[in-house]
Amino acid sequence: MPSFCLHAHFYQPPRGNPFADRFGADDIGHEPGAEPYENWNEKVTAECYLPNAESGNFELMSFDVGQTLLRWMRGHAPNTYHRILESHQKYVEKYGVSNALATPSHHTVLPLARKRDKVAQVKWGMAGFQNAYGRMPAGMWIPEMAVDLETLQIMHDLGIQYTILSEGQVEGASDGAGPYWVKLPNGGQIAVYVRDDMLSSQLAFSIQTLGGAGKWARYTLAARRKDTGRLDARAVHRLTLVAVEGETFGHHHPGEEHFLHWLLSYEAASVGQLVTTLERNLRENPPLSEIEIKEYTSWSCPHGLGRFAAGCDCTSGPSNWKGALRRAFDNLANNIDDLYVTELEEFGLDPWQLRNDYVRVTLGQMDVSHLLSDHEVIADEETTGRFAALLAASYFRQRMYTSTAFKFEDLSRSEPRYAIANGLRAALLVQEATGADLLPAFRRDLAQAVSNRTQQTGAELLDEIRAQAPDAN
Ligand SMILES: [Zn+2]
């Protein structure tokens, strides 16, 4: 029987004031444009997350909820949060596998990150998944589907079995969604599911013109299977995968949570499709063939990740501020890392192992003194405080790289400002711990990034943010 899987990626970036609390600016506050709701997270919850949860869609689809959104929901939309987790639990009880994928911790465009930061993002993301869903993840959604072999290798080495890419990012995918093996440079292989780009775009952009789920299933989904040529034994069981933003269903397109519900609960099956999810499919259909990936590609920029690096035509107007902003973040991150490593050296600690384990503190599972004693460090109160500040700096420094900081058209928008604020917080924490002032260099680098809209430089934005930040950190 042919199979069908719909994967929905639910995400909202972290926002608010990084000085307001220790690990998540979970209080977003008021955002203009979201009225009558207080902010966009609340608006999208009312339009999309809650109605999808109430209609049982989280028991029918494959999904991931970005870590920052999941944490926000836990604190601010607990009803929605618990319904999603209950749906997941029901799915696990019914099929013995999960229908949820993990996500890296801060929605970083991983191919642009250093190896040790990729490791931290994947490990923190897996720990966050386990904390919420009560099990280790088998699959991981890669932010922006931005891929390189090193990222896949790290995911594989840490126990991730599969991920999703789009058709345009791979070569050799002749069997629908697969799964396929991707061979990894240092040994091993990871399963990759390949989404149907045409069907995914139809749902993402035109769902309201498709005439409903029944019509789409009969005239498009069922016909799509026959178009694809080969009709050997494998083709009979072929999987079709649609992967889109979860906000498609109710927020981008009001009311379309019903399309999703009818498609997965009735219409796909009525045209002979087995509705499944990826871990369930993988258990029954291990990959038989191999594909090659196109490194440094993503689903949101056809210019080799230019949208998140040096700039490209994906956003209007000059976009060279992106390269300058990234350079400022990279230099600050390197300076923070150097000081961190120096401080830890005398204790004979592996600094990156400790930083990876720090996720237990950010998840509220333990405090820093407990973490240090787990790493067999006997530290007095003053030293523990210094480590706590350095580790917190390493967390805020990771959050500078959230993909949205680079995704849009102007430096003066709230997303880049928020990223700079996280850099400022990280620099002040390092100063508290070591006395070293990293801000003059950060400010000098930020001066190279200029807003097209306001002509402000990143340095001026930094000054503005600093003037508003509380003294305490
Ligand atoms: Zn682009």
**pLDDT tens digits for 85-106?**
999 999 999 999 999 999 999 9
Asked if residue 261 has pLDDT above 80, the reply is yes
Average confidence (pLDDT) over 1-11? 96
Query: For the residues 34-38, what does the mean pLDDT come to?
Result: 95
Taking the centre of ligand 1 as the mean of its atom positions, its distance from the CA of residue 313, in whole angstroms, is 5
Residue 171 Cα to ligand 1 midpoint, Å, equals 20
Distances from the Cα of 148 to the Cα of 114, 230, 235, 352, 391, angstroms = 12, 30, 29, 21, 28
- Poorest-pLDDT segment among 67-76, 146-155, 214-223, 341-350: 341-350
CA of 307 to the centre of ligand 1 (A): 5
Distance from the CA of 212 to the center of ligand 1, in angstroms?
32
Q: Is the pLDDT of residue 126 over 80?
A: yes
Mean pLDDT of 201-220: 97
Q: Is 34 exposed, middle or buried (CB count within 10 Å of its CB: 0-12, 13-18, 19+)?
A: middle
CA of 104 to the centre of ligand 1 (A): 22
Q: How many A from CA of 315 to the centre of ligand 1? A: 7
Give the pair of three-digit tokens for residue 326: 């990234």
Over residues 295-304, mean pLDDT = 96
Span from the CA of 108 to the centroid of ligand 1 (angstroms): 16
Mean pLDDT over 262-267 rounds to 98
Alpha helices in 134-267 (DSSP H): 149-157, 197-206, 213-216, 222-227, 233-236, 257-262
Check residue 23 and give its pLDDT.
65
> What pLDDT is recorded for position 202?
97
pLDDT at site 303: 95
**CB-based burial label for 361 (10 Å; 0-12, 13-18, 19+):** buried
Assess contact for 4 and 274: CB atoms under 8 A: yes
Q: Compute, in angstroms, the gap from residue 329 CA to the centroid of ligand 1.
A: 20
pLDDT in tens, 446-464: 999 999 999 999 999 999 9
pLDDT value of position 24: 57
What mean pLDDT is predicted for residues 430-458?
Answer: 97
- pLDDT tens figures, 199-209: 999 999 999 99
CA of 15 to the centre of ligand 1 (A): 24
Please give the pLDDT value at position 131.
97
Ligand 1 centroid–CA 305 distance in Å is 6
pLDDT tens-digit map of 105-121: 999 999 999 999 999 99
When pLDDT is averaged across residues 309-323 and rounded to a whole number, the result is 96
Q: Ligand 1 center to residue 312 CA distance, Å?
A: 5
Q: Is the pLDDT of residue 465 over 50?
A: yes
* In the predicted structure, residue 226 carries a pLDDT above the cut 70: no
Tell me the CA–centroid distance for residue 321 and ligand 1, in Å. 14
Measured in Å, residue 169 CA sits from the centre of ligand 1 at: 14
Spell out the alpha helix ranges (H) of 77-194: 78-95, 115-133, 149-157
- 140 CA → ligand 1 middle, Å: 24
pLDDT for res 472: 43
> What does the alpha-carbon distance between residue 231 and residue 221 come to, in Å, rounded to a whole number?
16
Q: Which residues surround ligand 1, an ion (CB under 5 A)?
A: 301, 303, 306-307, 312, 314
Centre of ligand 1 from the C-alpha of residue 300, in Å: 7
Which range is least confidently modeled, 26-30, 198-202, 396-400, 426-430?
26-30
Compute, in angstroms, the gap from residue 132 CA to the centroid of ligand 1.
Answer: 34
User: In angstroms, what is the span from residue 310 Cα to ligand 1's centroid?
Assistant: 10
